[in-house]
Each structure stands twice: as structure tokens, then as C-alpha cells.
Amino acid sequence: MESAKAPIISAFGAHIPVVAYGTMLFPEPERAVDLIVRSLECGYRHIDTARKYGSEQWVGEGIRASGLPREDIWVTTKVTEENAKADNFSRSVDTSLKTLGLDYVDLLLIHWPQPKVPLEETLGALAKARREGLAKNIGVSNFTVSLLDEAVDKCPAPLVTNQIEYHAYIRQDKVIAACRKHGMLVTCHVPLARGEVLKDPVIRKIAKAHGKTAAQVALKWLIQQPDVGVVPRALEFSEIEENIDIFDFELSQDEMNQISALRDKNVRIVSPEVRRPVWDVE
């Protein structure tokens, strides 16, 4: 496959490739590095990981095996809510960098809000990592409108993105509007709803009309929205190639509207009972 070149979305001086390779839940760890290398061969320049995923080591190995210059690859990682206290947060960042084998990450996120620790404390530790050059940029993940407003108010440095669950089967208008109000980007995890949207007849019909797959159309619908990036996971070379081969066609406004109407299904895929906030009701 000829290498694709993902467009860039930008906020507060951060220039982020719009499609990232997601590295959560590798069922066959022995293939992980090969999959990451293949993603880079196919033109991905953004790799998304987290302490909680257990994939940071493989991401680092994949980057080194690719032979690409470090500065050409955007690396995002996250600090889990178990490490929300300032000292634990700093240790988590150090562990991530050691595990990755990197001097810095391009983007560091608070993975989930932690109600048992003052948000101001966690944000202070997040900003400290940026100040010390351990993270070039910072942001949050799974933050609701009220948490986002509080975070922007209390964080001493700009937050560039909120990584949230967003796909064609969930309406996230309120939190997306909050991100835009604060000049932040939206990054979509589970952008294919773990395969749920791939079976949808509306998406499949539009895909057929374009000679594309349902996954490609579902991802295209997301990135045609302003300042939205996607983090699809893929466990086969063919899926890796498919998910980034989305820059040679455009959806019409009517097609965008047809897919947007599917959001009324309001299917939330990721809502772990032990750490979910009170979601904004759309």
C-alpha cells in the first residue's frame, strides 16, 4: 500500500495528525510491534497509548524498529486515574517515558477524571510535566462539560484536546460544543463503536456508493467535522491499511446528515462503572 499522509488538526500550537493508531487491547502481544511498525509504514504518524493499556513498551519498540525519526511521530499517552495524586502522577509519567524509551511524549492526557482527588492537584501535575519538557502538549480524556470547564479554568497551561467516545451511534453535541468554546480539539476513541456501526445499512449503502468500506465511511464522517481526530484500533494489517485510506473521497452534506441522524441511537460503548463520571445527557 502506498503511504497515506494524514491531514493535521491544530490547537494552541499543537499540530496533530488526524488519524492515530490505537493500541488498546492487543490480544496477541507477540504481534504488537509488527502491527505498530505496519501502521507507520502505511503513513500513520500518530500512535495512541496509555499506562492502562500496557502497550507503551511495544509502541517504543515499534517506533525504533520503523527507522523513522522520532520527531516525525506524534506519541500520545495517558496517566490513569489511580495516579491522580501529584506525586503518583509524576511517577507515572516517568514510568511511561522509561517504558516507551522516549525523552518526551507529544501529548499527555488525564485518562479518566478522579473524583477522590482535587482536579486542581492533578492538573498541576499535568502542567508540570509540560513545563519540564516531558510532554510537549497536554489534555484530558473522558471529561464532561462541567469537568472540562473546571479543567480549563484551573489548569495553568492550555489543554489541547478532550479524547472522548464519539462515533455515529452517540450524540456528543454538548461536550463537543464545550471543546470548541475552549478552542480545544476533539479526539474520538472507539470511533467505530467496536464494530457496531459497521453493520448499519445507512453507512453500508453510502460506502457502496463510494467504493469504500463501512469503516472508512464511519471514520470519514468523523474527520469531516471541524477539529475532530480519530483513534481507531486495528488488529490486522488489512484493517490498519483500511483505516487510513480515507483521504481520497468526500461525503456529501446529505450523506453527512444521514449518518448524523444515526446518533439518536445513543449507544455508549465505554462506561466503566468504577470510574465513569455523570455523562452529559444529549
* Residues that are catalytic: 53
13 HSE (CA, 13 A, CB side): 7
Cell digits of residue 141: 480524556
User: Percent helix, strand and coil across the chain, each rounded to 5?
Assistant: 45, 20, 40
Reported as type and span, the H/E element at residue 82 is none
CB 166 within 8 A of CB 177: no
CB 166 within 8 A of CB 174: no
Burial class (CB in 10 A: 0-12, 13-18, 19+), 217: buried
Strand partners, 19: 230
117-155 burial code (b ≥16 CB/10 A, e <16)? bebebbbbbbbbbbeeebbbbbbbbbbbbebbebbbeeb
